[in-house]
Each structure stands twice: as C-alpha cells, then as structure tokens.
Amino acid sequence: MYFKRKFPNSRLRRIRLNSNIRNLISEFELSTNDLIQPLFIKEGLSGTEPIESMPGICRHGEDSILSEIEALLEHDINTVALFPVIEQSKKNSKGDEALNSSNLMCQTVSEIKKRFPEIILISDVALDPYTDHGHDGLLINNYVDNDETLNILKQQSLTLAQAGSDIIAPSDMMDGRIGFIRKALDEMDYKNTILLSYAAKYNSKFYGPFRDAVNSASSLGKSSKATYQMSPKNKNEAIHEVAMDINEGADIVMVKPGMPYLDIISNIKDTFKIPTFAYQVSGEYSMLKLAIDKGWLDSDVMLESLYSFKRAGADAILTYAAKEISKEITNK
Ligand code: PBG
C-alpha cells in the first residue's frame, strides 16, 4: 500500500523544490469566483464611515455603495451580501420597517441592479437590523416566537425578491422558514430566486464586531440568541439542520462562523454534496486584520485562512477580506 512509502525511495521534498512544481501539485486553489464581499449600507449617510471594530471596513452611503460595487466588479468579485444599518427611529418591537417595500435594502438592491445587472446580490433575511430589541424574530413573552416570525420573514423575502435580489439568505435560524419562504416565492413566480440558507449558524461571540457595525449590539444588550442559534458544543445537530433545509428547498447551505467550525463545513460537504458556503465572520476577520495591522502577523495569514475553507470543502466564502485578497490572487 502506498502508506508503506519509505525514505530514501520516497522523498516528499522533491515535489516542493520550486514554486512551479509546488503549483503543479497543489490540491486546492482560491479564485475570485470563490469570494463574496459582505457590505454595510447606512441610511442617510453620504460617503463612507469607518467601523472601529473592523479595521479597513466601512459603512457605505447610497453613492458610495455604487462606486464600491464598480470597484469590486473590476476586481472580479461578482457577488456581494448586503447588510443594512437602519436609523434608530425606524426600529420597533416588530421590525415593521423590514416589510416596507421602499426601505433602505429594497431601494439599494434595485439601484444596484439597475446600474450593474450582472452583479449577484445576496440579501439577508432576519429582523435584527429592524427590531429595537435586536433579535432576529418577534418577541412574545420574552421568547422569539417561531411561527409568528415565519410570516414576517416570508413577507420580507418577497419584498427583497421583488426589489431584484438574486439570492435570499435567511440568517434567522427559525424552524421551517426555508419551506415557508420557498412556497411563497414560487407562488409569486420568483421561481429562479435562489435560497441560500444559513443552515448551521452557531450562537457565536465572533459576531461581536458585526453587531457594532449594524448597531444591534446595544439593542440586544445582555440578551442571547441561544434559543434559536446552535450551541457551539454540537456537531450532529448541524447535520439535522442542513437535512431539514435541503428537504425544504434550500439551494445552497452555509456554515457560520467559519474558521472555528471547519469540521462542520467538512462534515456537511461530505454528507450532502450540495453547494456549501462558509462565512468568515466579523470577529474572525478583525482578529487577523488587527494582528496584521500591528505587525504581529504577516498579511499572508488572511490568504492562508481562506485556503482552510477550501480544504474543508467550502465552494465559496463570505469574507470581509474579499476585495483585498482579490488583488493578491490576480497578482499571483
Ligand atoms: C444577523 C446576522 C449576524 C451576522 C450576519 N447576519 C449576527 C447575528 O446573528 O447576531 C454576523 C456576521 C458577522 O459577524 O460577520 N441575522
């Protein structure tokens, strides 16, 4: 058997002799086709505004988002995921603004599609940017009510599909939402609107900087999402979540966070063999970026971290570093 290979007949260093040989035998590559850039859009902002806990990442105003998309397309990044930062005065306990068909997200989606029809737009479905309590669904007796939330997520999905989103991405972790949303989309003839399910989404502290970015951290306070997001102690449960979502009609499933959950990505890809995305979330990005900016880590760690997703089996990666990394990939 090949495991009996022995020195000196076998010398593994022979295939590492120079970069051309190393490239020839490499098992995984990263291309701009694998990268999805998450973007923050803020109501009433002109230009950009830095996000303190995410070095190098900013919130975009309405003009700036269009020029950013143009720049991304020039860098061959063809897919973006949009996250809204809503004015505090528009938030309420039911997240009503999510259903307003001329809200920030819907307007931005339709403007982007008008200017850049070729870009693939992923719109997040969940209520946390719109609720004053910061939860992804409706609170009834201090508990996020699953079935009441489904009705709202369905409406939110329809408004986002109507605005021109290519991909609807429910990130709320309610049970049954994929089936519910798929049925509603089909009934309204959005048969080609893709459903990307945040199927295995963990209750993670790595989301901290994102919650700063969309100003939901203060709304959420000390309240936790543990009754709907998964426990970091579980692995088999992720298989159940994904199986359910596939049966309900998910086209693509996602694992989130990424680097601390590579085992989950690998397990899901091996088990189901369907398109599987990974989300390198805000906390993961900020840890690496801050250490790079301080000079404690070489900037190549970002690319190295993305290879780990490819090895685990991810088909595409949502990463805040997408644009930056695209420059390196093209140069290599
Ligand atoms: C909310 C949502 C979150 C992220 C994406 N959508 C945060 C949360 O669940 O509280 C996190 C992304 C990141 O940390 O980069 N539905």
Task: Give the tens place of pLDDT for each residue, 249-269.
Answer: 999 999 999 999 999 999 999
228 has pLDDT over 60: yes
227 has pLDDT over 70: yes
Torsion of CA 242, 246, 199, 273, to 10 degrees: 60
State the pLDDT confidence band at 216, using cuts at 50, 70 and 90: confident
Query: Cβ distance 105 to 82 under 8 Å?
Result: yes
pLDDT at position 74: 97
Shortest-distance atom of ligand 1 to CA 216: 10
pLDDT over 90, % of the chain: 94
Buried b vs exposed e over 179-200: b needs ≥16 C-beta within 10 Å? bbbbebbeeeebeebbbbbbbb
State the pLDDT confidence band at 218, using cuts at 50, 70 and 90: confident
Shortest-distance atom of ligand 1 to CA 38: 15
Work out the average pLDDT over 229-247: 98
CA–CA gap between residue 38 and residue 79 (Å, rounded): 9
Pocket lining: 284 vs ligand 1, CB cutoff 6 Å: no
pLDDT at position 224: 94
CA–CA gap between residue 300 and residue 109 (Å, rounded): 33
Average pLDDT, the chain: 96
pLDDT tens digits, one per residue of 160-198 = 999 999 999 999 999 999 999 999 999 999 999 999 999
233 has pLDDT over 60: yes
pLDDT at position 2: 64
pLDDT at position 3: 74
Question: Is 256 one of the annotated active-site residues of the chain?
Answer: yes
Q: What is the pTM of this model?
A: 0.96
Measured by CA distance, the residue closest to atom 7 of ligand 1 is: 207
Q: Count CA atoms closer than 13 A to 319's CA, side-chain side.
A: 33
> Which residue in the list 201, 225, 269, 289 is annotated as catalytic?
201
Work out the average pLDDT over 29-47: 97
CA–CA gap between residue 322 and residue 327 (Å, rounded): 9
pLDDT at position 4: 79
Question: Is 201 one of the annotated active-site residues of the chain?
Answer: yes
331 has pLDDT over 60: no
Q: How far apart are the first and last CA of the chain?
A: 36
pLDDT tens digits, one per residue of 288-320 = 999 999 999 999 999 999 999 999 999 999 999
pLDDT tens digits, one per residue of 3-32 = 778 899 999 999 999 999 999 999 999 999
pLDDT at position 176: 97
Tokens describing residue 47: 């230009």
The three-state DSSP-derived secondary structure of the chain is CHHHCCCCCCCHHHHHCCHHHHHHCCCCCCCHHHEEEEEEEECCCCCEEECCCCCCCEEECHHHHHHHHHHHHHCCCCEEEEEEECCHHHCECCCHHHHCCCCHHHHHHHHHHHHCCCCEEEEEECCCCCECCCCCCEEECCEEEHHHHHHHHHHHHHHHHHHCCCEEEECCCCCCHHHHHHHHHHHCCCCCCEEEEEEEEECCHHHHHHHHHCCCHHHHCCCCCCCCCECCCCCHHHHHHHHHHHHHCCCEEEEECCHHHHHHHHHHHHHHCCCEEEEECHHHHHHHHHHHHCCCCCCHHHHHHHHHHHHHCCCEEEECCHHHHHHHHHHC
pLDDT at position 215: 86
Tokens describing residue 15: 């295939």
> Which residue in the list 256, 269, 289, 323 is annotated as catalytic?
256
pLDDT at position 250: 98
263 CA from centroid of ligand 1 (Å): 20
pLDDT tens digits, one per residue of 71-97 = 999 999 999 999 999 999 999 999 999
Pocket test for ligand 1, best of 128, 207, 223, 286 (most atoms within 8 A of CB): 207
